[in-house]
Amino acid sequence: MRLVLVGPPGAGKGTQAEFIAEHFGIPKVSTGDIFRANVSGGTDLGRLAKKYMDAGDLVPDEVTNAMVRDRLAQPDAADGFLLDGFPRNVSQAGELDDMLDEIGAPLSVVLDLEVEHDEVVKRLSGRRTCKKCGHVWHLEYDPPATPGICDRCGGDLYQRDDDHPDTVRHRLEVYAAQTAPLIDFYRERDKLVSIDALGAVEDVTERAITVLTPHQD
């Protein structure tokens, strides 16, 4: 299965991506995670990406497209993948189509996680990530037993720079202007399935698996 997840920041794409990828036995390719790993590792790519990420803007297409092209050429992506956070605009979607044409393997399906604006703001502002294992907690919805400490590994929790209120607002504007048009783009191509992404994580995962299963090759 070659699958793309779309939805606003805070829709739970990263969390759902992990469960869905595991269920279908495909690698999860998250452009946000790859950029963050480069920022932590102090690479040239990380230094370049950080400026855009901290502002809540998109990293330029040439940089992002080249990174995705490299990642999808890895052997583990040969039999399918789940893209989380890419494409982020119609131009990237065109580039993805070209990449897939080259290998003669069309996209199977695009899953749209639907969440309303106010809920997204609440989710993003309460989000806390573990510095050590990367697990994502939420101050209200999924708090760790000891505030500020990860229950899974004991690591310290932090708030992503781009989850601060001003940046959240800007990221949502960027989503509405650049990423939301992908929903029509894929609907017109008969690739889109949508689910309600409100509710318990495992309920949303179950909904996702139910609508995606018929699209397995």
Of 28, 36, 128, 171, the active-site residue reads: 171
- Give the CB-nearest residue to ligand AMP: 32
Of 50, 69, 160, 187, the active-site residue reads: 160
89 with 182: CB under 8 angstroms? yes
Residue 50 annotated among the catalytic residues of the structure: no
Question: How far is residue 58's CA from residue 41's CA, in Å, rounded to a whole number?
Answer: 20
* Bridging pattern class, strands 28-30 and 157-158: unpaired
Question: How far is residue 91's CA from residue 87's CA, in Å, rounded to a whole number?
Answer: 8
Tokens of 35: 């950029």
Site string for ligand AMP, 150-189 (x = CB under 6 A): ------------x--------x------------------
Q: Which one of 28-36, 101-109, 125-133, 184-192 is the stretch in contact with ligand AMP (CB under 6 A)?
A: 28-36
Please say whether the dihedral angle defined by the alpha carbons of residues 23, 24, 29 and 30, taken in this order, is positive or negative. negative
Residue 2 annotated among the catalytic residues of the structure: no
Question: Binding residues for ligand AMP, per CB under 6 A?
Answer: 9, 31-32, 35, 52-53, 56-59, 64, 85-86, 88, 92, 162, 171
Active site positions, annotated = 13, 88, 127, 160, 171
